[in-house]
């Protein structure tokens, strides 16, 4: 089997970094796309392409993928992990804030997949993984734009799976609960967000990036070709589900 190549967005830290490292550990050549440089991720992966671009910039995404193909020659896996999750009462959300969440969480995966699709089709085998959220089921009242964007991403996953099945490309989503990352610590950690979410789970601890690695590797596995259009809820048995 040829050496496969994976692209992970939001790879500079947190969940994206763990996904990139895990794929490299399984023998993938990995490219990471993030708004900022990714020195910590690059230090953990021997053969890594660092792409610094905004996932909402169509030209930047396309240019980044051209670099990946120039370096590795092919592409097989796309992991749409980059996202934003501001928390605020609905009445305080501005139209521009709403659009920003939709651009990053929903439009960016569309742009990335559209740019990557010719390469996935040329490879004759592909896996697209979208990182959704268990918040679509728990519906926290201070995250209306985020929940709406992630529910849209699940719909995108299901419809795209139907569209790409004839090409041997599967499309699935992973829905974690609140994961302990540096971004989450800054945005919701200080307000007791981790404790609140943990108390609603059957597994009474905060989810770590490593808790999602086995799910990702299962979804992209060679033997998972019959799994498509699904959202795998990895939320510690949330009491709301």
Contacts of 12 (CB under 8 A, 6+ apart): 32, 34, 35, 36, 37, 38, 40, 41
Section 82-98 average pLDDT? 92
Percentage of the chain surpassing pLDDT 70?
Answer: 89
Q: Is the model's pLDDT at 88 over the cut of 80?
A: yes
Classified by CATH at the fold level, domain 5-234 comes out as: Rossmann fold (3.40.50)
In whole angstroms, what is the distance from residue 100 CA to residue 120 CA?
28
In whole angstroms, what is the distance from residue 11 CA to residue 231 CA?
21
In whole angstroms, what is the distance from residue 127 CA to residue 148 CA?
24
Q: Is the model's pLDDT at 85 over the cut of 90?
A: no
Q: Is the model's pLDDT at 31 over the cut of 90?
A: yes
127 and 219 Cβ atoms separated by less than 8 Å:
yes
Q: Is the model's pLDDT at 140 over the cut of 90?
A: no
Q: Give the pLDDT score at 240.
A: 53
Q: Which of 28, 85, 119, 146 is catalytic?
A: 146
Q: Is the model's pLDDT at 228 over the cut of 80?
A: yes
Section 130-138 average pLDDT? 91
Section 46-75 average pLDDT? 97
Dig out the tokens for 51 from the structure.
Answer: 């792409």
The residue ranking higher by pLDDT, 225 or 235, is 225
Question: Taking all residues of the chain, what is their mean pLDDT, rounded to a whole number?
Answer: 91
Specify whether 85 is catalytic: no
Q: Give the pLDDT score at 185.
A: 58
CA-wise closest residue to 197 among 210, 212, 207, 186: 207
Q: Give the pLDDT score at 206.
A: 74
**pTM for the full predicted model:** 0.92
Section 143-150 average pLDDT? 95
Section 198-208 average pLDDT? 73
């Amino acid at each position: 089997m040829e050496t496969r190549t994976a692209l992970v967005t939001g790879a500079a830290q947190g969940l994206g970094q763990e996904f990139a490292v895990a794929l490299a550990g399984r023998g993938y050549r990995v490219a990471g796309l993030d708004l900022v440089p990714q020195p910590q991720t690059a230090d953990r992966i021997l053969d890594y392409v660092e792409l610094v671009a905004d996932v909402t910039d169509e030209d930047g995404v396309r240019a980044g993928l051209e670099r990946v193909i120039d370096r590795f020659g092919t592409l097989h896996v796309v992991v749409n992990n980059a996202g934003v999750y501001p928390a605020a009462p609905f009445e305080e959300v501005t139209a521009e804030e709403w659009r920003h969440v939709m651009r990053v969480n929903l439009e960016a995966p569309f742009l990335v997949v559209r740019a990557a699709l010719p390469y996935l089709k040329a490879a004759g085998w592909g896996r697209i993984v979208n990182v959704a959220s268990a918040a679509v089921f728990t519906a926290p009242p201070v995250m209306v734009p985020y929940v709406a964007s992630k529910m849209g991403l699940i719909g995108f996953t299901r419809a795209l799976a139907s569209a790409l099945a004839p090409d041997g490309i599967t499309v699935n989503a992973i829905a974690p609960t609140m994961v302990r990352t540096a971004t989450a610590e800054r945005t919701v950690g200080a307000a007791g967000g981790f404790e609140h979410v943990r108390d609603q789970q059957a597994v009474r601890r905060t989810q770590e990036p490593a808790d999602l690695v086995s799910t990702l590797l299962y979804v992209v596995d060679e033997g998972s070709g019959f799994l498509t259009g699904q959202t795998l809820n990895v939320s510690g048995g949330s009491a709301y589900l």
